[in-house]
Structure 1
Amino acid sequence: MSERTLKRLLGVLGGAAVLWLVVFLVSSREPASEAEITGPIAAFFESATDSTLTAVRLSHPGATVELRRVDGSWVVNGFKSDSGAVARFFQTLGDTEVDGLAASNPSNHARMGVDADTAATLEFEAGGSTRRLLVGLDGPRGGTIYARIPDEDAVYLLTSGLRNYLYRGLDDWRNRKMLAIDTSQVRRITVERDADSFALVRTDSVWTFEGGGAADGRHVQSLLNELGGGLVASRFIAPGDSIGALPQGGATVAYSASGEQLAAVTVGSGSGDRWATAAGDSVRYRIPPFRVDAIVPTLESLRP
């Protein structure tokens, strides 16, 4: 074989290889035809919004989280929810796409993680009716998952980040912001910490100790930041948690110019994480030491 013929042959083979690669990539990314996406799966995510659904249940073996709309707000298992987490979840629902049929033989259910015993379940409730979807393992491409309608054999490939939400724990859905007040209305703050008890007052824009003497402006501002929405818990006090049994170790109360109580926070004692509560909220939160020092500062830290 001449050198010229060999070069031509190699060129043809190279072109064929490139063409095969292009066809493979396109076919692996191309969604199934519309004819393959029919039945309940085709409409499952339609109208799945925070204004049309009344409840969403996310279950996996051993745990269930229920989001329910109550008086225009979403609660999670009866607790106030993290509005940001809920908003991101509904955005994920809106971004979910059904790519196409992945398998039709039920023998594939276990391999794809969509068998009834091990799959996670997404359930929508709206208008007195419910619809359910079994969600399995990750698909062959990043950002894809397997899913099927219960009692149907067909398994579909979805482009979605739903698995991240289906396996979230209850605490990850709950609100952790303990309070948020308009700190421009605060004129007086009382603090009890360990053996000390004192008050801070504001005249114009200057904070001082009530008995006289300047207060450290940086630490006072840190306290105001916590009252204004910065007081975010790390977790919650679980039943039986030894931290929850410790006695009170401090308290901060904020007042307006008229003497109206605007906020009150109580914390437990101890040297590490502590329990904390806010007036008007029955939840017992868990906050780390730096949050304790910010919301219930020591007398020494407030001295210039």
Structure 2
Amino acid sequence: MTNATKTLAVVFAGTLVLALATTWSGGGAASTAAFQGELFAVDTSQVQAIRIERTDAPSIRLERADGTWSVAPTDTAATYPASTQAVQRLLRRLPSLEVGAVATRQPDKHPQYGVDSTGTKVTMLGADGQTLGQLIVGRTQMQRPSSGGQGQSPMQRMRRRRGMTPVTYVRTPDKPDVYSVEQSLNSLVERGLEAWRNKTIWTLDRSNIQRVKFSYPADSSFTMQRVVQKDTTAGSAETAGTWVSAGDTLDTSEVSSLLRELSSPEADGFAENTSPSAAGDTLYTVQLRLSDGTRRALRFHPADADNRYRATADGYPYVAQLRASNWDNSVLQGRSAFLKGE
């Protein structure tokens, strides 16, 4: 063998070792991209339903119809409006997972990573119920990150600088390969029914709220309203004006915070199996009058053991739970709390 032949043999062997190391370690950008395509390549614009199956809780089915999402537990016939933000977060995160490495290719090690029958299976379905993609999400554990490589994304490098990083193990049902993903997926796939529900009671443009009436026990009730003022500057239109109550001008900052809460009130939970007519006595009522003359009322009923008010609203078919401390400090206050200088 000549020296030239020996040199070529050494170069070839070195290249082969490097290629094998890159393939099995997942350290390069190319290998990560290949893992991504193999792992969960789903066109989310075609997804019409998502099924999330767990062994420790009822399965969840999310379904899209006419541009809106609904959520239903598979163990009941009930269906509820779903949180669009929560669904979109799931649709963004799963197809774009950044795979770190292959954890194992051996099926007998699946229980070790929680990607056996105990894992959470996520299935995305198309218009005719056809399966577009499936992923089994297993255990998440905190690990000290390994040394970085040139193929890492900025997000991966940032996590490494923080010290410990969450690592989740995933695989597709049709293959034994288990991959590690440097992020926690618990908040996406281990949500219960309540966490998937749309918690917005109503949504209003706060500039349309013209009057707020607080109905309290005894003689503590009061009303505040928006006063439209005319700008004396030539050619000027009417301005938004200020808020007053019984002739007193109210604090702009306090009223602004109040309107922010009342324009889009959010439930902290729901009183299941309770109809609005069975919510109990009404303690307080906050009624809004809008620019078009329509009214909205939010009624507060006695708090439960978790210190949450039960709340009902006009046209709202559910009984919401509102954290009492938050509403007592932001909305259900006396008139003096909104006065200037108080």
Length-normalised TM-score, structure 1? 0.73
Q: Which amino acid aligns with 1:122?
A: V
Once structures 1 and 2 are overlaid, which stretch shifts more, 170-179 or 246-255?
170-179
Structure 2 Cα separation of the partners of residues 46 and 25 of structure 1: 22
Structure 2 Cα separation of the partners of residues 25 and 293 of structure 1: 57
Indicate the residue corresponding to 1:156 in structure 2: 178
Structure 1 Cα separation of the partners of residues 171 and 255 of structure 2: 56
1:133 aligns with 2:135: yes
CA contact (8 A) 2:39 2:172 kept: no
Structure 2 Cα separation of the partners of residues 138 and 303 of structure 1: 51
Q: CA deviation at 1:53?
A: 0.5
Q: Which amino acid aligns with 1:276?
A: A
Structure 1 Cα separation of the partners of residues 22 and 216 of structure 2: 65
Indicate the residue corresponding to 1:235 in structure 2: 269
Query: In 2 relative to 1, CA 257–122 (structure 1 residues): closer, same or farther, beyond 3 Å?
Result: closer
Query: In 2 relative to 1, CA 135–202 (structure 1 residues): closer, same or farther, beyond 3 Å?
Result: closer
Indicate the residue corresponding to 1:53 in structure 2: 47
Structure 2 Cα separation of the partners of residues 119 and 127 of structure 1: 26
Q: CA deviation at 1:236?
A: 2.4
Structure 2 Cα separation of the partners of residues 33 and 258 of structure 1: 58
1:85 aligns with 2:86: yes
Structure 2 Cα separation of the partners of residues 164 and 293 of structure 1: 29
SS of the aligned residue for 1:226 comes to helix
- Residue deviations 1:201-228 (CA, integer Å, cap 9, x gap): 222123223xx33153244333212122
Structure 1 Cα separation of the partners of residues 268 and 42 of structure 2: 34
**Identity between Structure 1 and Structure 2 (%):** 24
CA contact (8 A) 1:190 1:198 kept: yes
Indicate the residue corresponding to 2:284 in structure 1: 250
Structure 1 Cα separation of the partners of residues 22 and 139 of structure 2: 22
CA contact (8 A) 1:267 1:292 kept: no
Indicate the residue corresponding to 2:210 in structure 1: 187
Query: In 2 relative to 1, CA 67–111 (structure 1 residues): closer, same or farther, beyond 3 Å?
Result: same
Q: CA deviation at 1:29?
A: 4.2
Q: Which amino acid aligns with 1:266?
A: R
SS of the aligned residue for 2:255 comes to helix
Structure 2 Cα separation of the partners of residues 286 and 153 of structure 1: 44
Q: CA deviation at 1:26?
A: 9.7
Q: Which amino acid aligns with 1:134?
A: I
Structure 2 Cα separation of the partners of residues 106 and 28 of structure 1: 19
Indicate the residue corresponding to 1:16 in structure 2: none
Structure 2 Cα separation of the partners of residues 71 and 65 of structure 1: 20
Q: CA deviation at 1:286?
A: 1.6
CA contact (8 A) 1:32 1:101 kept: no
The count of corresponding residues between Structure 1 and Structure 2 is 269
Q: Which ranges in structure 1 are unaligned for 5 or more consecutive residues?
A: 1-22
Structure 1 Cα separation of the partners of residues 209 and 29 of structure 2: 61
SS of the aligned residue for 1:147 comes to strand
Length-normalised TM-score, structure 2? 0.66
Q: Which amino acid aligns with 2:46?
A: T
SS of the aligned residue for 2:267 comes to coil
Query: In 2 relative to 1, CA 28–219 (structure 1 residues): closer, same or farther, beyond 3 Å?
Result: same
Q: Which amino acid aligns with 1:76?
A: V
1:108 aligns with 2:102: no
Query: In 2 relative to 1, CA 137–48 (structure 1 residues): closer, same or farther, beyond 3 Å?
Result: farther
Q: CA deviation at 1:89?
A: 1.6
Q: Which ranges in structure 2 are unaligned for 5 or more consecutive residues?
A: 1-19, 73-78, 146-164, 229-240
Q: Which amino acid aligns with 2:27?
A: E
Counterparts of 1:24-35 in structure 2 under 5 Å?
Answer: 28-30=25-27
Q: Which amino acid aligns with 2:67?
A: G
CA contact (8 A) 1:99 1:158 kept: yes
- Residue deviations 1:31-66 (CA, integer Å, cap 9, x gap): 6997xx79xx955522341x2101111221132222
- Residue deviations 1:78-120 (CA, integer Å, cap 9, x gap): 322333322222221232245665444332222222222x121
- Residue deviations 1:216-272 (CA, integer Å, cap 9, x gap): 32443332121223x3333222448xxx854211111211345222x3211113594
Once structures 1 and 2 are overlaid, which stretch shifts more, 121-130 or 189-198?
189-198
CA contact (8 A) 1:31 1:100 kept: no
1:264 aligns with 2:297: yes
